[in-house]
Amino acid sequence: NPSKKDNMIAWMAARSDGTHYGKLISYNFPKQKLIYGPRQIDARIDQDAFISQQLSLWSSRGSQVIRGSLLAIPIEQSLLYVQPLYLAAEKGSLPELKRVIVSMGNQIAMEENLEASLAQLFGSAATPQPRVDAAVTAGPPGTARDTNVRGLADQALQQYGRAQDMLRQGNFAGYGEEIKRLEATLKALRERAR
C-alpha cells in the first residue's frame, strides 16, 4: 500500500468467464471505514487467545499446522475472510482439514467447518441440529430465524466446496461464479443474523 498502511482500500479481480474474459472488477471501500487487509487479519488471527492456544497445542503434539490461502470475499461495504487450517503428521502424511477461520470486521471465529464458523460469526448456534422446515414447525421465538440461518450456512458451505473444486480443476470461470453465489448467500446470511 503506497501510504504504508495495511488496511484494505479496494479489492480487484479479473474475470475469466465468456464474454467478460479479461475485464477487471474493482470494489472501492469507503475511506471513512476501516477495512482490515490480509496482513492485519493474519495478525488478528495470531493474537486471538483461543486460536493461538489451539495452534500451540497441535504444534506441541508433533503435528504440522498448515494455514491455507486466506480468501477475501467482498460483501456489501466489507470483506469476509476465510482461511482453512490443516494438520499434517511429521512423517509426511497428507494434510487434513482441521478447522476453518472466518473473520469480518472485528469478529473472528474458528470452528471445525465453514458452516459452524459462519454460524458462530453471525450469531447462530454453532451446534449442528436437525434441519426443519421453518414454515411448518411452530416453536419459540427465533426458531425460524435460526433454522433459516443454518440453512444459509449449509448453502454457503456447499458453494465454498464447489468453488474449491473448480479452483483445483483450473476452472476459473466456474470458481468465479461460485464465489458470486457464495457472496449472495453470505449477504442473505448477514441480513438474517441482524
What are the residue boundaries of the structural domains of the chain, listed by start?
10-193
Q: How many other C-beta atoms are found inside a 10 Å radius of the C-beta of residue 80? A: 23
> What is the value of pTM for the model shown?
0.63
In whole angstroms, what is the distance from residue 53 CA to residue 36 CA?
23
Residue type, 158: Q
**43-57, pLDDT tens digit by residue?**
999 999 999 999 999
* Chain mean position to CA 39: 16
Phi, psi of 74 (to 5 degrees): -70, 130
Cell numbers for 191, please give them: 441480513
| Greatest CA separation for the chain | 56
In the prediction, which pLDDT does 134 show?
30
User: Which residues of the chain have a pLDDT value below 70?
Assistant: 1-3, 92, 124-147, 193-194
- pLDDT confidence of residue 144: 45
Amino acid at 162: R
∠ CA(38), CA(83), CA(59), 5° rounding?
A: 105
Q: Are strands 24-28 and 63-67 parallel, antiparallel or unpaired?
A: unpaired
Specify whether the backbone of 170 is left (phi greater than 0), alpha (psi in -120 to 50) or beta. left
Given this model, what pLDDT does residue 147 score? 52
Strand-strand pairing, 96-104 and 71-75 = unpaired
pLDDT at 146: 52
- For residue 107, what pLDDT is reported? 92
